[in-house]
Structure 1
Amino acid sequence: MKAQQNTAAPQIKAPTGSVSLATTEPAISFSRVSVTYGKTTALRDFSLRVQPGETIAMLGPSGSGKSTALSALAGFVRPSSGRIQLFERDITNLPPARRGIGVVPQAYALFPHMKIEDNVAFGLRARRTPRTETAERVAECLELVGMSAYAKRLPRELSGGQQQRAAIARALAIAPKVLLLDEPLSALDAQLRAAMLVELAALKHRLPDTTMVYVTHDQTEALALADRIVLLRDAQLHALGTPEELWATPETQFTAQFLGGANLLRGIVKHLESDVAEVEVAPSVTLQAVATPAVGVGSIVDLAVRPHAATIHDLGDTDTHAARVTTAMWRGTSTRVTVALSDVPDSLLDVDILGRCEWAADHAVGIRFQTPSGVAIAVDGAP
């Protein structure tokens, strides 16, 4: 069920004894943090500084270390080495309850025998907050997430999306300086995920002083919510930047493929002017691309071409390259067509076409690329 709309959302007041966010030091600081379990390294030499009020998305495939980093920040796991600071206070070995961090776990973890208002009040009561202040803050938080009408219900009487909003209200009740969300949309169906993504974006704007760390494996969530994206791979920090930076100019093949599913075409840079490179991917196929800093004339590169950056036409149309269809899969709003470029050996290119388009396997077509067609990424170890 969609959350109620708040045209004038309440401003959550800080509880007695809380720390002001009016500060210039980083809200969160990881300094070379590693987490190991026996011979397994779950997080390796991880460093990161997050500013107050900033929303960070930790993005990566399963096993990349993103949830481990969040768990270390929350205090659920202890680093094997390194240091974690919260507003310059060392919290590396501090118990979770003493960190003042709000956590929304993947499974929501609401107490099933408690009404929603009691779930939201739990952290406040544990801190022995006065009863009147507790009641006020519970009401504020429930209103903030559009759940005021469900205060007297039990968790089992709510939908998945409503339970998630209740979990967020509970995390916000203690007015945390930092809010952690661990894949909060993963248990929801596609339609509800889309609705909740809008709700979370609105919540971010209503709480401009709250630093948020959002763990996800879904690039859409990261691109929609984050001020910066932390991309992890193999338990290490792989890339860091704004969504626009990582999308427009990815500096590694993994970043290009994970954010946007780019195709990679191997080629050589024949000409470079400013940041525009001419990349020869075959004797008869030269394409323009945005050059990343490590690229120069003569560089062997992977040309990252996203599926929307090419279109399919009739064979022989102007400015097209001959190709043959290998598969075509309708996805509702678009069709993902995979083609093999005739002049580029061993090339398979995914192309997204709006609407439903059906081509039989081995059908001959023409492929037209945008200008520039993608990003030229240097190949490690190549000149």
Structure 2
Amino acid sequence: MGVGAEQSWDAIILGAGAAGMMCAAVAGQRGRCVLLVDHADAPGKKILISGGGRCNFTNIHTAADRYLSANPHFAKSALGRYSAQDFLALVERHGIAWHEKRLGQLFCDGSARQIVAMLQSECDAGGVTMALGMAVTDIDHGDGLYRVRMGEQDHRAPALVLATGGPSIPKMGASGFAYDVARHFGLSVVQPRPALVPFTLGPDDALFQALSGVSADVSARWGKTRFREAALFTHRGLSGPAMLQISSYWQHRTPIQVDFLPDRGADWLLEEKRARPRMQLRKLLAQALPERLADALLERAGAQGELGALSDKALRQLGERLADWPFTPTGTEGYAKAEVTVGGIATAGLSSRTMEAAKVPGLYAIGEAVDVTGWLGGYNFQWAWASGWAAGQAI
């Protein structure tokens, strides 16, 4: 085929990540002639670094209420039609060993490379053509066809799928490309922001930055949203699963409340005082929390001495403070450290059944590019599989 000649496809999918590969495999196996395009030189690069290289590929507790979106009901259709059990069946069909870690999180026993190889094999079974290491230089639409230019080559298809994700982890090549294309075709975009991302703390909380590396099981709350998991102090601020989860909901200049002793009753300090009046407060708290954290909290609260020497009122106030300790982050570590992005292509303009744009026939958006963001723990992968499957059935 000569340079400059147009090549025709049934569908062109931009982005060879989790959602794009799933969509390509499903459409290809339905007999569609599919071109899967990515500027990276290999598919599934973000999959490879996920879950510490083990890929937390789904969560058995998947439900629409564990996703953030301007339309909380949008994800129900796709998630209901392609479930965590459906993806697990695919994993088992490929002989990939897996285990449940905690909270319904499923991981490969071996490596995330197994998931990428599985998706590659499914794409091969569908006769999918991959164009890797290719930058898209132009996209337009006319006569019912989308034209995608890469280098000197034009490709055209009646269906174009946006699966290039959001701007989180830019060092992996992530960008807001999908949003730009969506806006070009008149779709609206919900303001994106980093999610599942560590917080930064200011000089007021310098005391806690000295605790870098210390973690504790806490209950973190923002508004009515609460997560019971580990929090980790870093040299820049707060991280760990509880904080990453809350970060998806958090809004700037608002406090996060942390319960450092979520298993203790409201009057536990008074009960300890009655039982062990000679016990040093510092020693008691160091039995319940990491010692350095206990010291920092007591230093900030200005409390010390034997339990018997402290008034009931002082102990009650300390108990209340430890159960509802406010932190007001100065910000987050941004897209560089964010696992995913909240916001994206507005669901109001998409069909929840097919992921097709209502006003732009043949244009689809799937995965992280869409304004659907899951909790930590395999939920975002399940959205990628489900939305990719839905579009793959439709194109």
Q: Name the structure where strand makes up a greater proportion of residues.
A: 1
Q: Name the structure where helix makes up a greater proportion of residues.
A: 2
> Which structure is richer in relative contact order (CA contacts within 8 A, separation 6 or more)?
2
Common topology (TM > 0.5): no
Range of TM-score over shorter length:
under 0.3
TM-score relative to the length of structure 1: 0.25
